[in-house]
Amino acid sequence: FPTRRSSDLSAAISACEKGGQWEQALALFGAMPKEKIRPNVISHNAVISACEKGGQWQQALALFEAMFEANVASDIISYSAAISACEKGCQWQLALTLFEAIPNAKVCPNVISYNAAISACEKGAQWQRASTLFYAMPLAKIDADVVSYNAVISACEKGGQWQRALALFYVMQIG
């Protein structure tokens, strides 16, 4: 039998993530040490994303935290997946805590991390925080996309801020 490599298992974990098989992704990730393969940032990100997509926010966060314990440097994909997991678990405060920790990790936020944080605020009915994040994007030289607009518009709508939601809708149509 050929020897398994880290990239092979990472690819298999990613395939499980895309197929919605978080349990299988977790099993493959857990098998890595038995195969004498040290999980890297790619395998961590894939299994965190698999758990996030499977609605397993607590497991995703535990895996994210395990990266630090294993001395695996996190990247923006790691943070975005962990923030998205919090969003899916309706943990907006935790999502914001993670988002605010991004600069300390010497990682640059991107549109995906912003969208995940804005969506978490939207789910938590935090329209002011969602708006603050949305309006901070240009300052960070990040262009808002349709996901950004939809999340902040929805947050404003849930917060009874229909005028703001409507203004954002018009800006989205123009931009």
pLDDT of 27 reads 95
- Please give the Cα distance from 149 to 170 (Å, whole number): 10
Task: Please give the helix or strand (H or E) that residue 19 lies within, else none.
Answer: none
14-43: pLDDT as tens digits: 898 888 899 999 999 999 988 888 999 999
Q: Taking residues 64-69, what's their average pLDDT?
A: 96
| Helix, strand, coil tally for the chain in percent (to 5) | 75, 0, 25
Q: Which positions ≥6 away from 120 have C-beta within 8 Å?
A: 83, 86, 87, 91, 92, 95, 96
86's tokens: 């919090």
* Predicted TM-score of the model (pTM): 0.90
- Average pLDDT over the chain reads 92
Measured at the alpha carbon of residue 131, what is the angle toward residues 125 and 133, in degrees to the nearest 5? 105
Helix, strand, or coil (residue 35): coil
